[in-house]
Amino acid sequence: MRPRHRLAAVLAAFVAACWPGSQALAQATVTIATVNNGDMVVMQRLSSRFEQQNPDVKLRWVVLEENVLRQRLTTDISTKAGQFDILTIGNYEVPIWAKQGWLAPFDNLPASYDVNDILAPVRTGISHQDKLYALPFYAESAMTYYRTDLLQKAGITMPAEPTYAQIRDIAAKITDKSSQTYGLCLRGKPGWGENMAFVTPLATAFGGQWFDAQWKPQLDTPAWRNAVTWYSTGLREYGPPGATSNGFNENLALFAGGRCGIWIDASVAAGLLYDTKQSQVADKVGFAPMPTGEFTGGPTWLWSWNLAIPATSKQQEAARKFVLWATSKDYIRLVAQENGWVAVPPGTRQSTYDSPDYQKVAPFASFVQKAIMSANPSAQTRNPRPYTGAQFVAIPEFQGLGTQVGQTIASTLTGTPVEQALRTAQSATERTMRQAGYPK
Amino acid sequence: MRSSRRQMLLATVLGWGAALLLFFPIFWMVLTSFKSEIAAIATPPQFLFAPTLESYAEVQERADYLHFALNSVLISVGGTLLALAFAIPAAYAMAFHPTARTRSTLLWMLSTKMLPPVGVLVPIYLLFRSLGILDTRSGLVVIYALMNLPIVVWMLFTFFKEVPGEILEAGRMDGARTGSEFWHLLLPLSVPGIASTALLSLILCWNEAFWSLNLTTSEAAPLTTFIASFSSPQGLFFAKLSAASTIAVAPILVFGWLSQRQLVRGLTFGAVK
C-alpha cells in the first residue's frame, strides 16, 4: 500500500470509530441521569437485579455531581433533546417542571406499589395539581448533631428541643480553637442549595420570610437581621476558619474528623456519622431536632431526591418499570438484605420506619421521621406568604436569586456588616422580581 | 566567578521551587488516592499512612475506565487532526500571502476565545440536537476542533513566520507549485512547530470538561466526565475522586513526559535567531 493510501485508510478507520454505531434494537435502552451519593451508588450496583428480571431493558447510567447534573438536565429538558429517560431531581424542580409539561405523570400506580405508604409531606412535595410527577428515592429533613463527649466535659446537657440561643451558648462553651475544636459548624458556601438551605429556615424561625403576600421581598426586616446576625457571629466566633467554603461535605468531614462540636444540617448525615468506616466520632454523636426560634411551627427543611420521566422519553414504559422498582418497598428490603438496614434509603416510606430491624440499627430513625412529618413546606411563615417550600422558595427564579443572596450573606462571614449585606440582598431581589414580572 | 555560581545556585533553587510547587497538587492527588476516605480528610493532613487500593477497586467497579479512556483518545486525536486540517492552510495563507486585514482577522479569531462557552451552550445544544450528534464522538471532535482552532492557527502562523520566505521563493523558481511547495518545503521545515501545536491541542482536548459534560451522556463521554461522576454532594469522596483523577491524567502525563523535548523545542522554536 502506498503511504498516501495507508494514511487514507487510517483516517477512514478513525472516522468510523468516531461515528455513532448502530445499536441493537431488541432491547429498550433506558438512560438514567443521577447524582453521585451513597444511596444512588447502591441503586446503580443493585440495578443488575432489575436487568436480570427484565432482560428486555438495558440500563445506561450517567452519574454526575449535583450542580453539573442540574445544569445538564435543565438544558436537556428545556430544549426537549430527550437524552435521558429517567432523571434524578429534587422536590424543588418536580412541581416547576411538571407545570411546564416537561414530566410524565405517574398515573394508575399498581396496588402493590402502595403509594399511600410514602410519607405525606414527601408525596405532596412532588405533586402538581394532585398528580404525582416523580417517585421519591430518599428524603431528608434537618437535625442538630453534637458531640456528647464535649458537652459532657463542659458539664452541659443538650435540651430535648434546643433553641438557637441555647445552641450559641453551648457552642461558646465547647469551642477550643487551640485544639482545633470548633463549637459550631454550619454551611457557609454560597448557593441556594448550600448556605441558603440553612439560612432560609433560620430566618423563618426568627419570624422572617422571603416575600410578603404581595411578593415584596422582606430581606431587610428585623427578623432577617437577627437571623443573619446569629448566623454570622456564631460562625465567626465559634466556627472553623474558612467557613465560606464549607458545604455539606466539608462540614461532614470536619465533624467526622472530630473538629466540630455542633453541626446543624441534613438528616441524611446521621447514617454517615454513625458509620465507623466514615466517622472517627461514631460512638460520640448525639442528636436533637433542628433548633427553634421565636416563631415555631413554620416550614423547616424537606428535601427529596426523586426519579422522574421526561415527557420526551421514547422509553416511557421501560423507564416507568425501573422507577417503580427502585422506589418500591421490595427495593428497600433488597438493600437491607444486601447492605444491612442502616444503608436503606431513608425518609420515603412509613413501612421503613415501622420496621423493628430499621429501628434497631438506626437510633435516629424516629427523629428523622418526626422531622420530615413536621417540615411543613406548605405551612405559613409568621406573616402570610404567597409561595411554598421549606428551605427554598418554589419559584423558578429562586435558583438564581437564592445563590445571589447566598453570596451576599456569605460575605458577612468575611467582614461585610449584616445591615449592608441585607440591604444589597433586598435591592437585588427587588430588581430580579420586578424583571421577572412579579406579582404574577 | 563566585557571584555567577551564586546566581546559578539561586536559579536552580528557584527552578526546583517552582517545579515542586506546580507538581505538589498532582503528588497530593496521587497520595490521597491511596488513602482511606477517613485518612483523606484527616487534619492535619497525613503523609504517613497505611496505603490501600480500595478506592481504585471501587472506581474500577463502578465505571468502565477503558470506555472513557478510548473516547478521550479518539476525541482528542480527532479534534486535533481536524483543527490542524483547517489551521495549516489558514496559517500558510496568512503567513505567506498576507493582506491588509490579516492581522485583524487573527486578532478577531483570538478574541472568540474570550467568549465564555456557557454563553453559546443553548444554541450549540440545539444545533447538536437537530443534527442528531448529541452524545457522539464525531460531535465532540467538531466542537473540540472549533474550540482550539484560534490557538492552533495562531501558533502555526507564528511558526510559519519563522520560515524564511526565500526558501519557498527558491522552490517556486525551481518550478514547485503551491502543493509541492507546501508538502516538500514548508511542512518538513515546520515539523517541530506543527508537532508542538498538535501536542498542545491534544492536551487542551484531553482536559476539556465543559463541552464534554454538557454534550455527552454515556456513549461518547470522555475521562473528564468519568472524573466528574466521582464528586459527591453528600458523603466522603476525596479518595475515590483522587483515584479516578489519577488514572484519568496518567496517560496524558506519560505522553507529556515522553514528548517533553519535542514540546519545549516547538515552543521555543524561533525564539533565538
Q: What is the CATH classification number for the domain harbouring B188? A: 1.10.3720.10
Q: Look at chain B and report how many structural domains it folds into.
A: 1
Per-residue pLDDT of B48-74, as tens digits, reads 888 999 999 988 888 889 999 999 999
In this prediction, residue A24 has a pLDDT band, given cuts at 50, 70 and 90, of very low
pLDDT over 90, % of chain A: 77
Sheet containing A303-308: order of strands: A57-64, A28-35, A86-90, A303-308, A135-140
Per-residue pLDDT of B5-51, as tens digits, reads 889 999 999 999 999 999 999 999 999 999 988 788 777 788 888 89
Give A327's DSSP letter. T
What pLDDT does residue A16 have?
56
d(CA A206, CA A200): 10
Per CB-CB distance under 8 Å, the chain A contacts of B82 are none
Nearest to B219 among A20, A257, A279 (CB): A20
d(CA A223, CA A167): 18
Helix-then-strand count for chain A, H and E? 18, 11
d(CA A214, CA A201): 21
Q: Hey, is the C-beta of B137 within 8 angstroms of any chain A C-beta?
A: yes
Total number of residues shown for chain A: 440
- Determine whether the interchain pair B138/A19 forms a contact, defined as Cβ–Cβ distance below 8 Å: yes
Residue B253 belongs to some domain of the structure = no
Mean pLDDT, rounded, for A337-349: 90
Please give the single-letter amino acid code of residue A392: F
pTM of the prediction? 0.82
Nearest to A249 among B134, B228, B232 (CB): B232
Per-residue pLDDT of B122-181, as tens digits, reads 999 999 999 999 999 999 999 999 999 999 999 999 989 988 888 888 888 888 888 888
d(CA A310, CA A307): 10
Residue B97 belongs to some domain of the structure = yes
Q: Hey, is the C-beta of B120 within 8 angstroms of any chain A C-beta?
A: no
Mutate to test the interface with A, among B32, B59, B217 (most CBs of A within 10 A): B217
- Determine whether the interchain pair A257/B233 forms a contact, defined as Cβ–Cβ distance below 8 Å: no
Residue B263 belongs to some domain of the structure = no
The fold of the A27-140+303-361 domain, in CATH, is D-Maltodextrin-Binding Protein; domain 2 (3.40.190)
Residue B100 belongs to some domain of the structure = yes
Torsion angles phi and psi, residue B193, rounded to 5? -65, -45
d(CA B243, CA A234): 37
CA distances from B163 to B160, B178, B192, B194, B198 (A): 5, 16, 12, 13, 18
Comparison of pLDDT for B250 and B263, the residue scoring more: B250
Mean pLDDT, rounded, for B109-118: 88
What pLDDT does residue A4 have?
57
- Determine whether the interchain pair A18/B232 forms a contact, defined as Cβ–Cβ distance below 8 Å: no
Topology alike, domains A27-140+303-361 and A142-301+391-435: yes
- In the three-class reduction of DSSP (H, G, I as helix; E, B as strand; rest coil), residue A289 is classed as strand
Query: With 0-12 CB in 10 A as exposed, 13-18 as middle and 19+ as buried, what is B203?
Result: middle
Bridge partners (DSSP) listed for residue A139:
A304
Q: Hey, is the C-beta of B168 within 8 angstroms of any chain A C-beta?
A: no
Smallest CA–CA distance, residue B270 to chain A, in Å, is: 30
What pLDDT does residue B268 have?
64
Mean pLDDT, rounded, for A118-128: 94
What pLDDT does residue A286 have?
95
- Determine whether the interchain pair A256/B74 forms a contact, defined as Cβ–Cβ distance below 8 Å: no
In this prediction, residue A362 has a pLDDT band, given cuts at 50, 70 and 90, of confident
Residue recorded with cell 403509594: A115
Does the pLDDT value for residue A74 go beyond 60? yes
Nearest to B214 among A19, A75, A279 (CB): A75
Q: Residue B97: give the domain boundaries.
A: 64-229
Does the pLDDT value for residue A23 go beyond 80? no
Nearest to A396 by CA among A97, A169, A183, A148: A97
d(CA B266, CA B157): 13
Does the pLDDT value for residue B98 go beyond 60? yes
Mutate to test the interface with B, among A14, A32, A60, A65 (most CBs of B within 10 A): A65
Q: How many CB pairs under 8 A join A and B?
A: 124
CATH of A142-301+391-435, one of 3.40.47.10, 3.40.190.10, 3.40.50.300, 3.30.70.20: 3.40.190.10
**ipTM (interface pTM):** 0.76
Residue ranges per structural domain of chain A? 27-140+303-361, 142-301+391-435
Residue recorded with cell 449535583: A66
What pLDDT does residue B114 have?
87
Does the pLDDT value for residue A3 go beyond 80? no
Residue B45 belongs to some domain of the structure = no
What pLDDT does residue B87 have?
96
C-alpha cell at A278: 466514615
Residue B268 belongs to some domain of the structure = no
Please give the single-letter amino acid code of residue A201: P
